[in-house]
Amino acid sequence: MTELSTGGGIGYRRVATEEAFAPAEMLEHYVKLLRNGSGDKGFDSLWGFYLESQAQRPRDVRRRLADLGDERLSDMDATGIDHQVLALTSPGTQILDTATARSIAALANDAAAQAVRDHPTRFSALAAVALQDPESAVAELERAVTKLGLRGLIVNSHVHGEYLDDPKFWPVLEAAERLDVPVYLHPNTPTNRMIEPLLEAGLDGAVFGFAVETSTHLLRLITAGVFDRFPRLKLVVGHLGEALPFWLYRLDYMHTATVRAQRYEVLKPLQRKISDYFRSNIWVTTSGMAWEPAILFCRDVLGADRVLYAMDYPYQYAPDEVRAQDGLSISLDERRQFFETTATELFGISL
Amino acid sequence: MTELSTGGGIGYRRVATEEAFAPAEMLEHYVKLLRNGSGDKGFDSLWGFYLESQAQRPRDVRRRLADLGDERLSDMDATGIDHQVLALTSPGTQILDTATARSIAALANDAAAQAVRDHPTRFSALAAVALQDPESAVAELERAVTKLGLRGLIVNSHVHGEYLDDPKFWPVLEAAERLDVPVYLHPNTPTNRMIEPLLEAGLDGAVFGFAVETSTHLLRLITAGVFDRFPRLKLVVGHLGEALPFWLYRLDYMHTATVRAQRYEVLKPLQRKISDYFRSNIWVTTSGMAWEPAILFCRDVLGADRVLYAMDYPYQYAPDEVRAQDGLSISLDERRQFFETTATELFGISL
């Protein structure tokens, strides 16, 4: 059994790549939205729970989300996490009105940048933007990357029910490609147009709704030709790719058959197979999926260099899951790649 | 390379377990529904394509669906399929009005039973029922199994937008358990309440919408406690379990956490973990998933006795996919289990 200690004495450092935070100012807006009616059924379900439940897990989550200092560092030490890639928790700015989204994005990026300055070996961070206003989003992403030193863009899935395959969002993707920083496509609850059969069964959240929403979003991005248009765009997806790696054969087969039959005006030929983009433009992290069979499956079908570690702190703060991944049946060199070097290269992190 | 011949000379017979047919009378009703407006967006998309497209694949599919004789047997011979388990194609009776559904179910069961009598070693069949009227569905299932010799029940996912976790459908599940025949949960396009973000992107059909719909349905059945109520119920799911095997770890973790926090009134504790039901009550077939990595993954995490062959004729009539599965890296005994004996035991088939 490896020790849950930091510092690389076990042969690698652990870089956790899907680690959430939430400025108190944003949570105050969430409280207001819950009180006034957000118009988003998934938000009401998710944040009604995390902000109002008195159960232990949601209480721990909301306290830990707001901290970028001692408690977080102590939790990282206790579970052997050398470095967290911070990202604004879901849905981040994407549930807010445009003006509020702009100000919260800037505030969150400034707060994350401060944490990085305070603890440069322990934290790096992704930028939040107001996707509701793509022009300002491009400007904020540029500011966050070039002035604040942030290392990518967090996209918490849909934006008031819209997906990033809509070309109005493409300037943001173009900016990420130009700045050479990855886009992390993180789950949110499904849009009002998909959520009801999940919500009424209590399945709209992380248990399954996140997967439905995010896999749909990712597949829309691919089939809309985003990677043909932006061939150097890097996309990171949690939860081992939201199960799309499991579907690669069928996606290739049925997408090809459907395009050939010209069944849909909207479904145009792609330059490559769907599975090819997973092996060139997409990385998957193990957030929420600390399970050897699924991790090794993804390494097998995507490539070992496509799969990297994430904890999903504070939602899944589980030392046993670090141990499970320390114990993967791969070599020490492969564990270093999995826990450390794929992440440091992808996000441009110096430990 | 094994030969694509029937008769077991290669050491096993190939039993294909998700093989579709459609009586001409049902397709005539589908034509009428398309003309008059079915009220179901997924049906209009799916059957508008298969009944109206002039592309080669849909033309082949609709001709082959209607045949239970020479062309089908010839296709089976050409691809080495010894035996097909026939099922009424999706959405079967489930898009029809109740009276029409009852008459088409009886007609389909009589037609399937005739094909089985004509070619008892080549065909067995699942029963269709009118789930819109659960009482008649129980009676028709009993007739089909006890009088006609059919070997299970086909459920083409939702019934006018309703799922079988609704207790009004449970008498049908109780009858399947009592008659000791499996229920095959087959995909359909998602309900109107889920389909829009998939449909507008051309992703509502077999390429991905089927997976969203059927995985949601299956998870609702499990979390509603269907297998606690009917512990000897056998459920068969195609497409390697609609990716839920990939999610088992996360489903167990998040379902447990959500139930413990009492987040939803509707989400009650289960007697066992979600993954346990996959290893006791659920079988998965390889329809549409002729891909070694995903097949071996499912054998690994569910058990080798839980994974069985299906072609998905005539939708995925592909000799290469038979060869791919003949070539699985498993022993001859395991191939016999995979292609033949799991199916003959599960469905009670005599070859």
CATH number for the domain spanning B205: value is 3.20.20.140
Contact A346, A283 (CB under 8 A): yes
> pLDDT of B2-17, one tens digit each?
678 999 999 999 999 9
Does B349 reside within a domain?
no
Q: Determine the Cα–Cα distance for residues B252 and A288; give it in Å rounded to an integer.
A: 11
Interface of A with B in 21-80 (CB under 8 A): 49, 53, 55-58
Q: Could you count the other beta carbons within 10 Å of the beta carbon of residue B17?
A: 31
∠ Cα B212 A313 B211 (to 5°): 5
In B99-195, at which residue ranges do the beta strands (DSSP E only) sit? 123-125, 153-155, 183-185
Pick from A49, A264, A289: CB nearest B202: A264
Q: Distance between CA atoms of B60 and B50, rounded to whole angstroms?
A: 9
Whether A2 is covered by a domain: the verdict is no
Residue in B150, B154, B110, B111 with CA at minimum distance from that of residue B129:
B154
pLDDT at B29 over 70: yes
With residue B183 as reference, give the H or E element that holds it: strand B183-185
The model's pLDDT over B255-264, given as tens digits with 9 standing for 90+, comes to: 999 999 999 9
What is the Cα–Cα distance from A164 to A157, expressed in whole angstroms?
Answer: 8
Q: Can you tell me whether residue A124 is helix, strand or coil?
A: strand
**Which structural domain, as residue segments, surrounds residue B142?**
15-344
Mutate to test the interface with A, among B263, B286, B301 (most CBs of A within 10 A): B263
B312 is catalytic: yes
Question: Which of A49, A193, A240 faces B197 most closely, judged by CB atoms?
Answer: A193
- Residue A2, pLDDT score: 62
Answer whether residue B65 shows pLDDT above 70. Answer: yes
**C-alpha dihedral (A141, A146, A152, A156), degrees to nearest 10:** -20
| B49 pLDDT more than 80 | yes
Paired tokens of A2: 């490896």
Return the residue matching tokens 């499996």: B182
B155 three-state secondary structure: strand
pLDDT recorded at residue B2: 62
Nearest residue in chain B measured CA to CA from A261: B55
B89 domain residue, yes or no? yes
Report the number of secondary-structure helices (H) and strands (E) in chain A.
17, 8
B351 in a structural domain: no
Q: Is B63 exposed, middle or buried (0-12, 13-18, 19+ CB in 10 A)?
A: exposed
Q: Measured between alpha carbons, how far is B178 from B184 in angstroms, rounded to an integer? A: 16
| B17-21: average pLDDT | 98
Helix (H, G, I), strand (E, B), or coil: what is residue B340? helix
Q: Is A197–B215 a contact, with Cβ atoms under 8 angstroms apart?
A: no
Could you tell me the CA-to-CA distances from B328 to A158, B83, B333 in Å, in that order? 40, 20, 12
Quote the CA–CA distance of A87 and A126 in Å, as a whole number.
Answer: 5
The answer to the question of residue B273 being in a domain is: yes
Contact B64/B314 with Cβ under 8 angstroms? yes
Question: What are the φ/ψ torsions at residue A239 (nearest 5 degrees)?
Answer: 50, 45
Residue B1 confidence (pLDDT) above 70: no
Does A9 fall in a domain? no
Please report the pLDDT score of residue A3 as a whole number.
78
For residue B8, give both structure tokens. Answer: 């077991």
Establish if A167 touches chain B: CB-CB under 8 angstroms.
no
pLDDT in 10s for each residue of chain A, 351 residues: 567 899 999 999 999 999 999 999 999 999 999 999 999 999 999 999 999 999 999 999 999 999 999 999 999 999 999 999 999 999 999 999 999 999 999 999 999 999 999 999 999 999 999 999 999 999 999 999 999 999 999 999 999 999 999 999 999 999 999 999 999 999 999 999 999 999 999 999 999 999 999 999 999 999 999 999 999 999 999 999 999 999 999 999 999 999 999 999 999 999 999 999 999 999 999 999 999 999 999 999 999 999 999 999 999 999 999 999 999 999 999 999 999 999 999 999 998
Residue A273 lies in a domain: yes
SS3 state at A17: strand
The model's confidence at residue B265, banded by pLDDT at 50, 70 and 90, is very high
ipTM: 0.97
- Taking every pair of Cα atoms in chain B, the longest distance, rounded to a whole number of angstroms, is 58
Count CB atoms within 10 A of the CB of residue B74: 11
- The count of domains in chain B is 1
Query: Does residue A169 fall inside a structural domain?
Result: yes
Sign, CA dihedral B207-B208-B209-B213, equals positive
Predicted confidence (pLDDT) per residue in B189-244, tens digit: 999 999 999 999 999 999 999 999 999 999 999 999 999 999 999 999 999 999 99
- pTM confidence score: 0.98
Instruction: Please state, in angstroms and rounded to a whole number, the distance separating the CA atoms of residues B188 and B178.
Output: 26
Which residues from B are below 8 Å from A262, CB to CB? Answer: 55
For helices A41-52 and A24-36, angle between their N-to-C axes, nearest 10 degrees: 120
Q: Which among B207, B262, B316 has the least Cβ separation from residue A55?
A: B262
pLDDT of residue A258: 95
Position B3 scores a pLDDT of 78
